[in-house]
C-alpha cells in the first residue's frame, strides 16, 4: 500500500526519485526505522537501479541485540519491506541486502538495493523473503475447500430442483 501511495504521488507532484523516497519516509513515520539515504540512482531505461541507506533505530536490531552479538544481519522484516516497496513502485524486482548490521557489532545498519538480477544469488535470496511454504499450502487448501463447497452447493441445488 505504501508503494501505491508513492506511485500516486509520482507525476502529480513528484518525480520517480522523490516518490521512491516516500517509502523510507513512510517507514520512519510508522516507527520501524529511520532510513538515511546515502546514494540513489534510478535509470530504468538503462536497467540501472542502485540505492544505499543507513538505517537508524531498527526495531529488529533492538530485539536481536538482547540475545547477544549476532553472526548475520538481523533486519529481515525491514529488508522485506524495502524490497517489496521498491519492486512494486518500479515494476522491476529489486532486492536489498544488509551489508552491515549493529546486531553484529557494526557501527551502523547499512543496506544496498539493486535490481535482483544484479545479485549473483538473487533466486536463492528471493526464496528467503518468500512466504513460508506452509502459507502456500494453506492457500491451496482454502481454494480446495471453496471448490468443494461450491460443488456441494450445486449438487444440492440440482437435487432440490431435479
End-to-end CA distance of the chain: 48
- The enclosing domain of 124 has a CATH number of 3.30.1380
Q: What is the mean pLDDT of residues 22-46?
A: 82
In this structure, the answer to whether residues 59 and 124 fall within a common structural domain is yes
How many Å apart are CA 117 and CA 80, to the nearest integer? 17
pLDDT-based confidence at 135, cuts 50/70/90? low
Q: What is the C-alpha to C-alpha distance for residues 20 and 51, in angstroms, rounded to an integer? A: 10
**114 and 150, same domain (yes or no):** no
Whether residues 110 and 143 fall in one domain: no
Q: How many domains does the chain have?
A: 2
* Cell of residue 67, nine digits: 540475545
For residue 30, give its domain range.
Answer: 2-130
Which run of H or of E encompasses 149? helix 133-161
Q: Where are the alpha helices (DSSP H) in the chain?
A: 2-9, 16-29, 59-65, 76-90, 122-129, 133-161
* 148 and 91 fall within a common domain: no
Same domain membership, residue 146 and residue 107: no
User: Residues 61-120: pLDDT tens digits?
Assistant: 888 877 888 888 888 888 888 888 888 888 899 999 999 999 999 999 999 999 989 988
The residue count for the chain: 162
Q: Residue 57 pLDDT more than 70?
A: yes
Band of pLDDT at residue 129, cut at 50, 70 and 90: low
pLDDT for 63-74, tens place per residue?
887 788 888 888
| pTM of this structure | 0.70
Amino acid at each position: 500500500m505504501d508503494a501505491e501511495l508513492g506511485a500516486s504521488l509520482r507525476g502529480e507532484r513528484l518525480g520517480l526519485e522523490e516518490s521512491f523516497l516516500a517509502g523510507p519516509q513512510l517507514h520512519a513515520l510508522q516507527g520501524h526505522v529511520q532510513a538515511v539515504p546515502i546514494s540513489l540512482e534510478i535509470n530504468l531505461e538503462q536497467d540501472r537501479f542502485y540505492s544505499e541507506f543507513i538505517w537508524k533505530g531498527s526495531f529488529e536490531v533492538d530485539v536481536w541485540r538482547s540475545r547477544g552479538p549476532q553472526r548475520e544481519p538481523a533486519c529481515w522484516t525491514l529488508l522485506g519491506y524495502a524490497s517489496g516497496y521498491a519492486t512494486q513502485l518500479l515494476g522491476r524486482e529489486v532486492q536489498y541486502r544488509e551489508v552491515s548490521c549493529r546486531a553484529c557489532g557494526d557501527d551502523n545498519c547499512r543496506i544496498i538495493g539493486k535490481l535482483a538480477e544484479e545479485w549473483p544469488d538473487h533466486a536463492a535470496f528471493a526464496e528467503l523473503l518468500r512466504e513460508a511454504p506452509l502459507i502456500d499450502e494453506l492457500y491451496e487448501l482454502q481454494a480446495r475447500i471453496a471448490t468443494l463447497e461450491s460443488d456441494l452447493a450445486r449438487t444440492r441445488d440440482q437435487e432440490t430442483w431435479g
